[in-house]
Structure 1
Amino acid sequence: MHYRREDLEPAARADEQYLTIEEVAARYKVKSGTIHRWRREGNFPKARQVGPGSVRWRLSDLLEHEGQLKACFAMHGPLPMDAEDE
């Protein structure tokens, strides 16, 4: 498969961090297969194509997603991990 330059993620800002699938899985304490499933289901931030056969997640996208999850649970109940602290 050939990639056109415009199909790839533009050069990142100097302060932007990109994470691999392994780093993302470690962040959420799940296996990489879970990240792939969340991605297929549309319940996770979009991965960015950074090269042929290479995708990464922007840390800023993950942080935004986490903020939305916290806002949702704030309105509908505690996060499962917060319930253990009670």
Structure 2
Amino acid sequence: MDAQNHQQYLSVKDVAGRYRIGVSTVWEQVAAGRMPAGIKLAPNTTRWRLSDLIDWEAGLASSHNHST
């Protein structure tokens, strides 16, 4: 099976834990455009694709490497 069929989704608590920040900081970073937005599944349910976060991290690393 291809990787798309095995997409992993993270809750806001999972995202906060991944980056060792608070849940409210995740929401602040998303609102400021400094972190990818999650996918709203229901009024009180948002999930982030792990692959989106990994791509975002790679972009951060790439832009950091180009600036040094």
What TM-score does the superposition give when structure 1 sets the normalisation length?
0.70
Q: Residue 36 in 1 paired to residue 27 in 2?
A: yes
1:74 is aligned, of 27, 52, 65, to 65
2:50 is aligned, of 53, 56, 59, to 59
Q: Residue 24 in 1 paired to residue 23 in 2?
A: no
Question: Identity of aligned pairs, percent?
Answer: 31
- Unpaired stretches in structure 1, ≥5 consecutive residues: 1-12, 78-86
Structure ranking higher on relative contact order (CA contacts 8 Å, 6+ apart) = 2
How many aligned residue pairs are there?
Answer: 65
What TM-score does the superposition give when structure 2 sets the normalisation length?
0.87
Provide the rounded CA distance (Å) in 2 between the counterparts of 1:31 and 1:76.
28
Q: Residue 46 in 1 paired to residue 31 in 2?
A: no
Structure of higher CA gyration radius:
1
Q: Residue 14 in 1 paired to residue 26 in 2?
A: no
CA-CA distance at 1:14 after TM superposition: 2.7
CA-CA distance at 1:46 after TM superposition: 1.6
Letter in 1 for 2:54: L
Two-structure CA RMSD over aligned residues (Å) = 1.1
- Unpaired stretches in structure 2, ≥5 consecutive residues: none
Q: Which structure has greater helix proportion?
A: 2
4+ runs deviating over 3 angstroms: none
Letter in 2 for 1:67: A
